[in-house]
Structure 1
Amino acid sequence: MARPVVGIIGNQHLINDQYPAHAGGAMNSEAVATVADCIPLLIPADPRFVSVAELMECCDGFLLTGGRPNVHPEEYGESPTAAHGAFDRARDAIALPLVRACVESGQPFFGICRGFQEVNVALGGTLYPEIRDLPGRDNHRMPPDGTLEEKFALRHCVSFTEGGVFHRLLGSRQVMTNTLHGQGIKSPAARVVIDGTAPDGTPEALYIDGAPGFTLSVQWHPEWDAANDPVSRPLFTAFGDAVRAWALSRRATPVLKTA
């Protein structure tokens, strides 16, 4: 069969601070195509152009990417402040109901950074606007200077639950990851299982309790060097396997019983 399709949730973007565009990092597409072995399809995350039902029909799985805009705090019952940064309400209007629909249907998704936070908010959780301002927490933001290699360098460990989903998948209770985020989970949603944390206690890995499909999501950026990184590769491979299984199940032709 043809490779299954992974919809990559894009972000609103202005080219030269003037020309509106929908954007998605090339490394997301590369990880989906070369490691997950699926067709990457950039989604304009705006309800004016697409609906959740249409996306679920034309895509086999979804990658909820990172991005500079944050989930609007009104989505989790708080008022916006300067610390909450920029927003993309159009993406909120697509990504949050899409997460809820996929959780119930079993259609696979993989959340990354903002996507990790979207999963929590979609199911009723809340976020901190700025992790580095909290007592005892580290600065998880991307280094302001340096090459891409330096910005995406491994900076802290993530510890997983003994015998948990991530421990079993990655074969280790501790891994090293990059860190390029300002916000983080404050209160996990009722069905969100925090399966990995940074040394300062920041949630870094989750899945949805009782969900019938692939719901793994991480706060770091595994799309960076995904083909070679020993943590990123199994995550994207497992995601691709789940997407292929979904695609096969939805394309299966029922066997007709004969008399």
Structure 2
Amino acid sequence: MTRPVVGIIANQYQIDNRYPTHAGGTINSSAMADVAGCLPLIIPADPRYVSVAELMDVCDGFLLTGGRPNVHPEEYGEEPTEAHGAFDRARDAITLPLVRACLERGQPFLGICRGFQEVNVAMGGTLHPEIRDLPGRDNHRMPPEGTMDEQFALRHKVRFTPGGVFHRLMGAEEVMTNTLHGQGIVRPGHGVVIDGWAHDDTPEALYLDGARGFTLAVQWHPEYNATNDPVSRPLFTAFGDAVRAWAAGQVAPVLRSA
């Protein structure tokens, strides 16, 4: 049986500081193939090469990946500063309208880290460049040193809305996650429901209210050890089910609060 196709949004990199490339982490492909049961397809997120309409015709669902470049603050009405870090305007030009188009069409997507932030910005929300600078907030950035296992280690709890989408999906009101991000949501966008928070009240999980399809996004990185992690596995399994439903000409049942 042919697997449904998930477009994995790639990021721009330079090999040896001179050869430009679009790339996606193998842990994203592994999560899609091994847990979601879908065919991973790396997408060069640049309007010079692809259009949103073409992508939606080729792919059954989308994985909005994490990445070092941040959403440009002009996309949410603010001026860029040094604190905002590096940007990828080409990716912005694809992913932000893609989120809105998927919402309108009912096509499934899953957002991770930057992807979580893209969903919020696409819906008119705002971000803070360094949430660790906000009163009462912790440093959620990736540890600068250590092995991959150490950098992606589970570092804090995320609590979900009792009876909410993520509570029912995970079977628990509280889970442990990793954390590797500097920016965070300040004002949720239109229809953005924050459904999970870190211990310092940083938004960590969301979905879009009234959506006809799968629109979940998380601030942590569930793709790491997705096969074995009890939090990652149900998230990717549910996403894979939604993508298969779409590929079969159905709109998967929407995950809603009880």
TM > 0.5: yes
1:111 aligns with 2:111: yes
1:61 aligns with 2:61: yes
Paired residue for 1:24? 24
Secondary structure, aligned partner of 2:248: helix
Mapping 1:1-80, distance limit 5 Å: 1-80=1-80
Paired residue for 2:255? none
Mapping 1:1-259, distance limit 5 Å: 1-249=1-249
**Could you give the per-residue CA deviations for residues 118-154 of structure 1, whole angstroms, max 9, x where no partner exists?**
0000010000000111111000000000000000000
**Could you give the per-residue CA deviations for residues 85-104 of structure 1, whole angstroms, max 9, x where no partner exists?**
00000000000000000011
Secondary structure, aligned partner of 2:159: strand
What is the aligned-residue RMSD (CA, Å)? 0.6
- The AA in structure 2 aligned to 1:133 is D
- The AA in structure 2 aligned to 1:6 is V
For 1:117 and 1:19, the matched residues in 2 are separated by 28
**Could you give the per-residue CA deviations for residues 200-237 of structure 1, whole angstroms, max 9, x where no partner exists?**
01000000000000001000000000000000000000
For 1:190 and 1:122, the matched residues in 2 are separated by 9
For 1:150 and 1:139, the matched residues in 2 are separated by 16
- The AA in structure 1 aligned to 2:9 is I
For 2:16 and 2:93, the matched residues in 1 are separated by 26
For 2:104 and 2:231, the matched residues in 1 are separated by 28
For 1:103 and 1:129, the matched residues in 2 are separated by 26
Runs of 4+ in 1 over 6 A off after TM superposition: none
Secondary structure, aligned partner of 2:185: strand
TM-score (norm 1): 0.96
For 1:30 and 1:190, the matched residues in 2 are separated by 32
For 2:143 and 2:182, the matched residues in 1 are separated by 11
Q: Which runs of 5+ in 1 are unaligned?
A: 251-259
**Could you give the per-residue CA deviations for residues 63-100 of structure 1, whole angstroms, max 9, x where no partner exists?**
00000000000000000000000000000000000000
- The AA in structure 2 aligned to 1:126 is T
% identity of equivalent residues = 78
**Could you give the per-residue CA deviations for residues 161-198 of structure 1, whole angstroms, max 9, x where no partner exists?**
00000000100000000000000001001200000000
**Could you give the per-residue CA deviations for residues 222-255 of structure 1, whole angstroms, max 9, x where no partner exists?**
00000000000000000000000000016xxxxx
Secondary structure, aligned partner of 1:8: strand
State the structure with more CA Rg.
Answer: 1
Paired residue for 1:257? none
TM-score (norm 2): 0.96
In the TM superposition, residue 17 of structure 1 has moved relative to its aligned partner by 1.1
Secondary structure, aligned partner of 1:182: coil
In the TM superposition, residue 16 of structure 1 has moved relative to its aligned partner by 1.2
- The AA in structure 2 aligned to 1:51 is S
In the TM superposition, residue 23 of structure 1 has moved relative to its aligned partner by 1.1
The worse-fitting range, judged by mean Cα deviation, of 15-24 and 154-163 is: 15-24
- The AA in structure 2 aligned to 1:29 is S
For 1:98 and 1:127, the matched residues in 2 are separated by 19
For 1:130 and 1:46, the matched residues in 2 are separated by 26
For 1:217 and 1:23, the matched residues in 2 are separated by 21
